[in-house]
């Protein structure tokens, strides 16, 4: 799996623009990946994903493994064919959901025993099984199975998680083998907020050798400062010629701060989740469009946005739809939010290429954090 840095990235902590070559096309980084948990980005068709600027999406192995099941998706010819998306797909390993969503029964060196959140059925997930499922899904980027300790775990638990994650990563790498051109496996760096454990985890994974490296176990309540320090402590030990991926981050300000530290890939349910609740993201902050103050606001969701929702509908209309619980309301908010986040990454790429990332990000953040629309209630 080829990756090349095309601008920036002069040091480990510099923002950079790159191109990831996958079996389903090139992806320009920094990239935001909409989340398609159950084989669909919620409420959005594949052609709309293209329209909002999506180049790569994420799907959740845990959910798809449980429903509709690997056999159905395998029979369909893989996830791309099943869901009608011909662009690149990154799948997680299912580990995070097993640790957060399922009823966790037992973690051993061999794997994880858990009960399905859907029907209580018992499953045993090993590193090998996690890769096998992702191979059947036909993912462009597969993630290793990792152990993600809770945010309040003590240093001892984080140390254990790092050791187990390293051991599992080796087994995942071995099981995945050579996945073919444009398909790859990413390791996941753990280590919590401890710089020495981040270094240990990163170095161990790099010595195994992966197509890219994710930063895991952050954004779970450790606070912004600690999060950014952990990112720096991780990126310092990652090879510059491999893509870096921060899992589960999609707030614009934090995404930009992490980009500024040399991270290339992001995913988050935020734009779709906010959209489903009638909140839209704009360069001047969040707009809780369901609020009564927008009842007669005939301007677009975001001034200057050229997305389908902003070109054709007013805040007043979308506010009416949200108030009346009409599906079209959440569709339009989601459509706009995805367009917005892809515009953020596009502007970031252009700023990096022009050598002006610092200026661009300072301006963007000033407008976003202190914009007239910003609503902390979002």
Active site residues: 92, 267
Name the phi and psi angles at 182, rounded to 5. 80, 5
The nearest distance, CB 313 to a second copy, in angstroms, is 5
Pairing state between β 141-143 and 25-29: unpaired
Comparison of 324 and 377: residue with beta carbon closer to a second copy: 324
- What is the spatial distance between Cα 139 and Cα 153, in angstroms, rounded to a whole number? 32
Shortest spacing between CB 324 and a second copy, in angstroms: 5
Angstrom distance (rounded) from CA 30 to CA 213: 14
Nearer to a second copy, 174 or 327 (CB): 327
Total Cβ atoms within 10 A of residue 120: 9
Which phi-psi region, left, alpha or beta, contains residue 139 (left: φ > 0; alpha: ψ -120 to 50)?
beta
Tell me how far the alpha carbon of residue 82 is from its chain's centroid.
Answer: 21
Q: What is the DSSP string of 11-43?
A: STTS-EEEEEEETTEEEEESEEEEEETTSS-TT
Nearer to a second copy, 154 or 292 (CB): 292
- In the β-sheet with 16-22, what is the strand arrangement from edge to edge? 2-8, 16-22, 25-29
Taking the complex as a whole, the smallest distance from the CB of residue 148 to a second copy amounts, in Å, to 24
Residues 6+ apart with CB under 8 A from 368: 252, 253, 283, 284, 285, 374
In the complex with a second copy, which residue's Cβ is closer, 179 or 334? 334
Residue whose CB is less far from a second copy, 60 or 139: 60
Shortest CB 31 distance to a second copy, Å: 22
Residue ranges that bind a second copy, judged by CB under 8 A: 38-40, 42-47, 67-68, 72, 75-76, 82-84, 295-296, 298, 308, 312-314, 316-317, 319-321, 323-324, 326-328, 330-331
Q: Least distance from C-beta 231 to a second copy, angstroms?
A: 33
């Amino acid at each position: 799996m080829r990756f090349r840095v095309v601008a920036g990235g002069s040091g480990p902590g510099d923002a950079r623009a790159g191109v990831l070559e996958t079996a389903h096309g090139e992806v320009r980084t920094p990239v935001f990946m909409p989340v398609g948990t159950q084989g669909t980005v919620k409420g959005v068709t594949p052609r709309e994903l293209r329209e909002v600027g999506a180049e790569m999406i994420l799907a959740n192995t845990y959910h798809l493994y449980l429903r509709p099941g690997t056999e159905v998706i395998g029979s369909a010819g893989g996830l791309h064919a099943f869901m009608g998306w011909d662009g690149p797909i990154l799948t997680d390993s299912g580990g995070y959901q097993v640790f957060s969503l399922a009823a966790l029964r037992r973690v051993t060196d061999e794997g994880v025993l858990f009960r399905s959140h859907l029907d209580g059925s018992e499953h045993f997930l090993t590193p090998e099984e996690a890769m096998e499922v992702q191979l059947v899904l036909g993912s462009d980027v597969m993630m290793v199975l990792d152990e993600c300790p809770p945010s309040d775990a003590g240093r001892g638990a984080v140390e254990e998680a790092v050791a187990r994650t390293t051991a599992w990563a080796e087994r995942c790498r071995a099981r995945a083998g050579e996945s073919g051109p444009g398909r790859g496996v990413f390791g996941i760096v753990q280590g919590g907020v401890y710089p020495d454990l981040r270094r240990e985890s990163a170095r161990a994974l790099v010595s195994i050798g992966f197509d890219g490296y994710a930063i895991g176990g952050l954004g779970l309540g450790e606070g912004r400062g600690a999060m950014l320090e952990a990112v720096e402590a991780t990126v310092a030990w990652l090879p510059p010629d491999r893509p870096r991926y921060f899992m589960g981050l999609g707030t614009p300000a934090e995404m930009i701060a992490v980009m500024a530290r040399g991270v290339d890939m992001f995913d988050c349910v935020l734009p779709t989740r906010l959209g489903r609740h009638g909140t839209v993201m704009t360069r001047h902050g969040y707009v809780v469009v369901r609020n009564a103050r927008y009842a007669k606001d005939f301007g677009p969701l975001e001034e200057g946005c050229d997305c389908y929702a902003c070109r054709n509908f007013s805040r007043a209309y979308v506010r009416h739809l949200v108030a009346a619980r009409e599906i079209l309301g959440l569709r339009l908010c989601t459509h706009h939010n995805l367009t917005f986040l892809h515009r953020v990454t596009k502007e970031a790429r252009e700023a990096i290429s022009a050598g002006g990332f610092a200026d661009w990000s300072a301006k963007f953040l000033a407008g976003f954090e202190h914009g007239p629309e910003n609503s902390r209630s979002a």
